[in-house]
């Protein structure tokens, strides 16, 4: 398996522009996560999906951020308009989750390589 695939790996854009980050989870996984990592705030969960449905988007900073998962093999995180404070590394991760099961198997999250976003 190729693992979690993210594109682009690097993005440099100007303030006010729209940015779209893409993620392809591992085949067979049913949970997908978007994280943001900065020096100041560490690793933050922005949003996650189970079976393509957004479950918790409380980490999304504001309305400029939106995420979609139209099918099990693709997700996007969009920032419109972008601002310099959005500069960060954005990770996508996926895992297989069985709701209602007692926590006994690790089903770890596999992370993509990240997208380093710079907003000038």
Partner 1 sequence: AQKITQTQPGMFVQEKEAVTLDCTYDTSDPSYGLFWYKQPSSGEMIFLIYQGSYDQQNATEGRYSLNFQKARKSANLVISASQLGDSAMYFCAMRERSSGSRLTFGEGTQLTVNP
Measured CA distances, 36 to 33, 85, 91, 99 (Å) = 10, 12, 6, 25
Query: Which region, judged by CB under 8 A, interacts with partner 1, from 17-25, 64-72, 73-81, 102-110?
Result: 102-110
CA distance 74 to 16: 25
Return the closest-CA partner of residue 52 out of 72, 35, 76: 72
- In the complex with partner 1, which residue's Cβ is closer, 55 or 72? 55
113 touches partner 1 by CB under 8 A: yes
Tokens of 105: 């198997």
Binds partner 1 (CB under 8 A): choice among 23, 36, 109, 117:
109
- Contacts to partner 1 by CB under 8 A: 31, 33, 42-43, 45, 48, 50, 55-56, 89, 91, 93, 95, 97, 99, 101-111, 113-114, 116
């Amino acid at each position: 398996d190729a693992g979690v695939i993210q594109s682009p790996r690097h993005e440099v854009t100007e303030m006010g522009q729209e940015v779209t980050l893409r993620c392809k989870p591992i085949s067979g996984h049913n949970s997908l996560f978007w994280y943001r990592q900065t020096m100041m705030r560490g690793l933050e969960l922005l949003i996650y999906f189970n079976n393509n449905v957004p479950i918790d988007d409380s980490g999304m900073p504001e309305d400029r951020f939106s995420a979609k998962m139209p099918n099990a093999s693709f997700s996007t995180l969009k920032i419109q308009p972008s601002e310099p404070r959005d500069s960060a590394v954005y990770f996508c991760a996926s895992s297989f989750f069985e709701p209602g099961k007692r926590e006994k198997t690790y089903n770890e999250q596999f992370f993509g390589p990240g997208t380093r976003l710079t907003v000038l």
